[in-house]
Amino acid sequence: MKKVYFTVGPSEILPSIPIFTKQAINDQIFSLSHRGKVFEQLFEDTVSQLRKLLLIPPSYQIFFISSGTEAMEKIIQNCVKQKSLHVINGRFAERFYKTALELGKNAQRYDATGSFSAEDLQVRKNIELIAFTQNDTSTGMAIPLREIYKTVRKYPEALIAIDAVSSMPYVDINYKKVDSVFFSVQKGFGMPSGLGILILSPRSINKAKQLKEKGVSIGSYHSFISLLQFADIKQTPDTPNVFAIYLFEKVIKEFLKKGIENIRKETESKANMLYEFFEKSQIYNPLIVNNNFRSKTTLIVTVRGGSKGVVKYLLDRGIVIGKGYGERKDQDIRIANFPAHTIKDIKLLINLLKKYAGTLRS
Ligand SMILES: *Cc1c(COP(=O)(O)O)cnc(C)c1O
């Protein structure tokens, strides 16, 4: 039986991915040199289409890297000499924070469990970077952009980094207000894993240059400086995942055709369908209580009686959902709501969740 994946990443792929894959084989993409004209055109097209889709300003750089996790490391290395601050709304935010510690930085954490207000945020002097996980996939807690922009106004000297791995392309960021944004393609872009996207402000690039001049290590082939040198000639320092870039370009074009506004509206209406169902249910309770901080793209729900039963019930019926993250694996379920998930899929899922709840009552 062909399954439907509601896992939070990798997740369900777009129906067009097998078609694009056949085209890639016909175009002999797997053998394409990353130092030739064809690749350079692909690089240029992908970057310009992505700019159009997400309204990324021309002065901002777009780089291809390996993953979201890699972006965390590169941002710390290239934007922080000593001090970073991390707003912790889940385990992915913690990963970002730990990355800074592992790189020898003097990282500060600010715990934001269940809610976050820029007004309450206290930041030490000379903080160089404030890192947000806009949508933490372990807790289903999303930080409203409004609160991020308030933080920007409160601390204008700090660079602002945003992990948007599991909320892109739903989240509509005003790039001009922030300095680094990253995501990977196996979540909201309905693609196989293996490609990370890093978007950088001129300020971020300048900071990397300053650190390099001061003799601080900013990493090697994927330092911002090295990425920039190659991006200038529409190439990457290493051999990138050319196939993923090829797929990505086609997916972006598909999204442009559908219209980003339509994609975002559809994401909201599917999220509303799910949350309305959970609100009425006796056994499913969203982990994040305050509505303003609930993720629209990765929904985490505590299941009365534990998650094991419902995960298996759905799996037996061809629906794959995620268990809770880490130590919450037996308590929560995690459900992705990405563009690859149709309204029909969501209705089917709700129907089965309802039926499972019925088996508990009888
Ligand atoms: C998945 C995820 C990551 C890690 O991305 P990879 O591409 O798997 O390295 C980072 N942050 C968040 C919020 C994620 O959901």
Amino acid at 107: A
Nearest residue (by CA) to ligand 1, atom 6, is 68
DSSP string for 220-279? STTSHHHHHHHHTTT--SS---HHHHHHHHHHHHHHHHH-HHHHHHHHHHHHHHHHHHHH
For ligand 1, the distance from its centroid to the CA atom of residue 184, given in whole angstroms, is 7
- Cα–Cα distances (Å) from 72 to 26, 46, 128, 236, 307, in that order, read 36, 22, 15, 19, 31
Q: Is the pLDDT of residue 177 over 90?
A: yes
For ligand 1, the distance from its centroid to the CA atom of residue 92, given in whole angstroms, is 7
User: Are the C-beta atoms of residues 318 and 4 closer than 8 Å to each other?
Assistant: yes
How far is 362 from 247, CA to CA, in rounded Å?
47
User: Are the C-beta atoms of residues 291 and 312 closer than 8 Å to each other?
Assistant: no
- Cα–Cα distances (Å) from 164 to 4, 47, 65, in that order, read 24, 18, 15
Section 322-328 average pLDDT: 96
The per-residue pLDDT for range 213-253, each reduced to its tens digit, is: 999 999 999 999 999 999 999 999 999 999 999 999 999 99
The pTM of this model reads: 0.98
The per-residue pLDDT for range 87-117, each reduced to its tens digit, is: 999 999 999 999 999 999 999 999 999 999 9
Mutate to test the pocket of ligand 1, among 163, 189, 198, 297 (most ligand atoms within 8 A of CB): 163
Query: Which of the 8 DSSP states describes residue 12?
Result: P
Section 276-288 average pLDDT: 96
* pLDDT number for residue 269: 98
User: Cβ < 6 Å from ligand 1: which residues?
Assistant: 9, 67-69, 92, 133, 135-137, 163, 165-166, 184, 196
Would you tell me how many other CB atoms lie within 10 Å of the CB of residue 272? 11
* pLDDT number for residue 362: 65
